[in-house]
Structure 1
Amino acid sequence: MKKTIVAMMIMAMTAASVAGCGSSSNDTAAAENTTDAAADTTAEAADDTAAAGSMSGAITVLSREDGSGTRGAFIELFGIEQKDADGNKVDNTIDSAEITNSTSVMMTTVAGNKNAIGYVSLGSLDENQVKAVLIDGAQATAENVKDGTYKVSRPFNIATKGEPTGLAKDFIDYILSEEGQAVVEENGYVSEGNTGAFEGTGAEGKITVGGSSSVTPVMEKLKEAYAAVNPNATIEVQQSDSTTGMTSTIDGTYDIGMASRELKDEEAAELTGQVIALDGIAVIVNKENTIDELTSEDVLNIYTGATTDWSEIAQ
């Protein structure tokens, strides 16, 4: 009887031991499965985070119209314009680029398209609407243009047919004076110096100043400031583009023409030009674009069609 009881106890203990071993094995496997699942979830979350921080999508390229001084300077500075075998300048901007006819239209168009890229006068940049990206590590600011850190810049020129006289001369004297160049700098442009305190002649009459849409905003401010010291003068500012500004000055439509670039050889042969400020060209993207910096090569590739999707840009 005792032997039977002992045998039964041994069998019970053996069964419990076997059950316990099985439970431990199952618990270990379950734990391993849970760990693997957690690792997979973490990896997926990391992938999702990386994807959320990366910009992708077909790039919408925006450019300015033919005749725009900003376009002329932009394509030259980034090497988008090249000379062909005959020495003729060729603008290699991608054919599918959408054309905007003014600085303000460029900004509103980029602001309304997440995948867009464009460029505007630094002095006209509205960072509430769009984002200016760094170029080759440099921020687009007047200070960086002045010290040469930001290299995407060009001159603002005015021009007259022959030497200016009367009211045109008096207004130009104001623009180049200490007071006029203060207006230039107050509006985000770079002054290259001034001629000292303004000594007006009290000239009367009316003149028309016309041309570049990039120069127009600062010219309007100069007009307002000049009116405060010479209320007898009437100055009309007409916005068009740099080429129209120069040709219309040559034919006498404008008394003073505005160009947001250097004068061309054929223009300089007939006009007297004068630099009134330096201005940067800001490369702009939509504020939702996660890319904050581009290289000069990136811009060249985008505008010539070698790069067509934001995912191709190093991020």
Structure 2
Amino acid sequence: MKKKILMVLAAFVAAVTFAGCGSSGGGTINVVSREDGSGTRGAFIELTGVQEEKNGQKVDKTTDKATISNSTEVVMSTVKGDTNAIGYVSLGSLSKDVKAVKVEGVAPSVKTVTDGSYKIQRPFNIMTKGEASGVAQDFINYIMSSDGQNVIEKNGYVKVSTNGAYSGTKPSGKITVGGSSSVTPVMEKLKEAYEKVNPNATIEVQESDSTTGVSNAAKGTLDIGMASRDLQGSETSEGLKVTKIAKDGIAVIVNKDNSVDNLTLKQIKNIYTGKTTSWSDVK
């Protein structure tokens, strides 16, 4: 009987210990970040202070122990499967498989991005080499019309234009749009909606990253580039015409079993620079 009681107690202690490690009870924080060139990463490190200035140069201080993922979907699946993981994703791509924490006490939402109370937010930009024409310009007109902005809002992003309904000329032809993997999902929805009102047009959407979208638009290999961040100084001198089509929040996500539900910007910076490595130190 005594041996049986001891076995039960041991099992209970083990269960409590395991549960604690899986819910911010002291486990090692597993940092998940996006790849170099990602607009989401660029905006995130700037807005959270992970990017610092040294000798006049901007330096990304993301810990070298971070797991690097090349898409929003991979970030979410990694965090979903790891109770000690933390990552960040576009608000419009957020799913119920993970938990978005509050930042400085404010939950990410269309409302809090719109009113500015949620601090980690960035623009969705498109760009063309000089003035667009034909299908490219007509598609941009659609995106900025109330029809296109309603598509943007319906998919969880914040609209930025107050233009009226689309009344384009519906030209014929094919264009290629490419770049940011964060902008791609809503661009696919915009493409579908536009091709219904203008069956004369064909739009190919290519997913890569913001830096590739900007550079290929500048080279003229894309009719329209996509970037989920502001353009850098060296990029704005490439003769690009930039149009902001939406605003987006960057949600900081943890596993659903993690008890943490609020982080300050300083705590996020300390986690992503490797200064804070254990969930028990997140207070």
The corresponding residue for 1:109 is: 78
Q: Could you tell me which of 191, 211, 232 is aligned with 1:223? A: 191
Distance 2:79 2:250 in 1: 15
Q: Which runs of 5+ in 1 are unaligned?
A: 1-43
TM-score, normalization by structure 2: 0.91
Q: Give, in angstroms, the shift of residue 56 of structure 1.
A: 1.9
Instruction: Provide the alpha-carbon RMSD of the alignment.
Output: 1.7
TM-score, normalization by structure 1: 0.82
Please say if 1:274 is aligned against 2:243: yes
Please say if 1:284 is aligned against 2:253: yes
Distance 1:54 1:299 in 2: 15
The corresponding residue for 1:35 is: none
Q: What is the total number of aligned residue pairs between the two structures? A: 267
Paired residues of 1:55 and 1:291 also in contact (CA < 8 A)? no
Distance 2:226 2:44 in 1: 17
Please say if 1:62 is aligned against 2:53: no
Q: Could you tell me which of 187, 191, 196 is aligned with 2:164? A: 196
Q: Could you tell me which of 205, 219, 235 is aligned with 2:203? A: 235
Q: Give, in angstroms, the shift of residue 197 of structure 1.
A: 1.3
Could you say which structure has the higher strand fraction?
2
Distance 2:125 2:24 in 1: 41
The corresponding residue for 1:3 is: none
Q: Give, in angstroms, the shift of residue 196 of structure 1.
A: 1.0
- AA aligned to 1:181 is Q
Q: Could you tell me which of 84, 94, 99 is aligned with 1:131? A: 99
The corresponding residue for 1:249 is: 217
Q: Could you tell me which of 239, 258, 266 is aligned with 1:297? A: 266
> Once the two structures are superposed, what CA deviation does each residue of 1:127-154 show, in whole Å capped at 9, x if it has no partner?
2x11101111000101000011111100
Q: Give, in angstroms, the shift of residue 193 of structure 1.
A: 2.3
The corresponding residue for 1:90 is: 59
Please say if 1:180 is aligned against 2:148: yes
Paired residues of 2:40 and 2:90 also in contact (CA < 8 A)? yes
**Segments of 4+ moved more than 3 angstroms:** 51-54
Q: Which structure is larger by alpha-carbon Rg, 1 or 2?
A: 1
Paired residues of 1:123 and 1:279 also in contact (CA < 8 A)? yes
Identity within the alignment, %:
61
The corresponding residue for 1:260 is: 228
Q: Which runs of 5+ in 2 are unaligned?
A: 1-11
Please say if 1:311 is aligned against 2:277: no
Could you say which structure has the higher helix fraction?
1
Paired residues of 1:64 and 1:101 also in contact (CA < 8 A)? yes
